Chains A and B, each alone.
Chain A
């Protein structure tokens, strides 16, 4: 998901006529002091990272003068916010806030329409408010073919508005401009929390803008490069490696994600980390459903679709097996029309290369389940190449459900562990 940084979101707001505090992005204390002098103290210093909950994570500091500003800048630049390094800070004039509102536009999965959300009680606790006191949060579905007009916004605001009408009207205008941001930039979410009411009018103190990845191609006005990097976390070296497999060859795809790159989550939960490959994302989920309660945690997610060529399976299998923490490997296909004989050939070639001494028989427990087109050929290939005879390999067919695959893996892992002692 292309989640914009706060200052990027605010740039879009400014373009659409939504007032934001005066401010500038800096990378060091010297720059910051210059900006502080220019804006006038007190200022607020905000780490520009994608992580949510910045306020609670200590990513936002206030400074009364040059000294405290320099200290705040150095403190934030040395910090990790929810794991993310801080490279940029936004310095803004501190707003004199009288009230904090919450305004947002997103798509409601139930009504399958855009929805405008409004609360008089904006700020960091908006989710708790929404849960504890649903009546404090107002929503209005939007007919996307009709649009969202200022009087729609007024009618939404007046449900809870205790303030004067001039301010309500100004806020309604901001709201319709926020809807324009949502539509113009193909957002999944356009959120101002808080929209601060000050003596000078309303101002967007924060900006959360998530752009639809699937619309990036037509969002040429956005800095696409920035947008594409703007996921929740940066891609790992192994994910980047896997990404090169699909780059120049569109004959099917293999989508690889490390859900637990250093296996720390798996170990923390007392689970055995395993390498994982499935045909069909749905099968990844159903197989995880069975493996995890038995004590095994797939530390990667890999889903092939569109009938990938054998060479892709060869390369992705090498990627999966290169995760040093794995103590097993599980492959399951949905009952699919993917040419499973070619899938098998890719895996066999990889195994032979990784395990030359044993002729391709892995030294860790491996369960492979082939179901669907040419599954019989796939299974036969593993036999012909002598891999099925491996002490720690089970190659299974169409009659194997996910639960059976997991149980067979469980039994195999336990034997392996007791006979070899594992890697300890």
Chain B
């Protein structure tokens, strides 16, 4: 299985399952990443997305974390991208919480 995985500045990772990308006709992630005002870090190489800057540059902030690759891939691609953005303190908070957040309840 081939995977493109890289870290982003805020602390988190973007993981692209390139096996799925090969069958993708739209390459929506590359398209949106290169529009005006976006990070413009992805390019097509050998038919799959690749990084233009180095991993280090991406981590320093070349990736603008607009989340567009993941969302557009979900709609128009092969659901190949997972962006993980941890917030450890929130997990701790939720663990200590005695009440249930409304999104886990039924209205």
Contact = CB atoms under 8 A, between A and B. Distances in A.
- Asked whether the complex places CB atoms of A and B closer than 8 A, the reply is yes
Interface in B61-89: 61, 64-68, 70-71, 75, 83, 85, 87-89
B87 A342 contact: no
B91 to A, nearest CB: 9
A248 B11 contact: yes
Contacts of B101: 321-324
Interface string A281-317: 0000000000000000000000000000111101100
A363 to B, nearest CB: 5
Given A310-B65, A315-B87, A421-B107, A363 B102 contact: yes
Contacts of B90: 241, 315, 318-319, 322
Contacts of A421: 107
Contact of A416 (B10, B105, B107): B107
A322 B93 contact: yes
Contacts of B92: 237, 241
Contact of B102 (A244, A364, A381): A364
Most B-side CB within 10 Å, residue of A238, A322, A326, A355 = A322
A331 to B, nearest CB: 16
A121 interface: no
B65 A237 contact: no
Contact of A309 (B10, B87, B88): B10
B96 interface: yes
Contacts of A325: 99
B65 A315 contact: no
A112 to B, nearest CB: 39
Nearest to B38: A342
A348 interface: yes
A314 B61 contact: no
A363 B106 contact: yes
Nearest to A326: B102
B8 interface: yes
A325 B102 CA distance: 7
A15 interface: no
A251 B64 contact: yes
B71 A324 contact: no
Given A322-B101, A324-B99, A237 B93 contact: yes
Given A237-B96, A241-B90, A248-B11, A309 B102 contact: no
B71 A309 contact: no
Contacts of B15: none
Interface string A359-396: 00011100000000010000001001100000000000
Nearest to A365: B107
A364 B10 contact: no
A422 B107 CA distance: 5
Nearest to A422: B107
Contacts of A423: 102, 105, 107
Contacts of B64: 251, 309-310, 342
B85 A311 contact: yes
A342 B66 contact: yes
A177 to B, nearest CB: 44
A315 B107 contact: no
A25 interface: no
Interface in B28-61: 37, 61
Contact of A240 (B65, B89, B100): B89
Nearest to A356: B103
A339 B67 contact: no
Nearest to A308: B65
A420 interface: yes
B94 interface: yes
Interface of B: 8-12, 37, 61, 64-68, 70-71, 75, 83, 85, 87-90, 92-94, 96-97, 99-103, 105-107
7 contacts: A238-B93, A240-B89, A244-B88, A248-B9, A315-B85, A315-B87, A363-B103
Interface of A: 237-238, 240-241, 244-245, 248-249, 251, 309-312, 314-315, 318-319, 321-327, 339, 341-342, 345-346, 348-349, 354-355, 362-364, 374, 381, 384-385, 416, 420-423
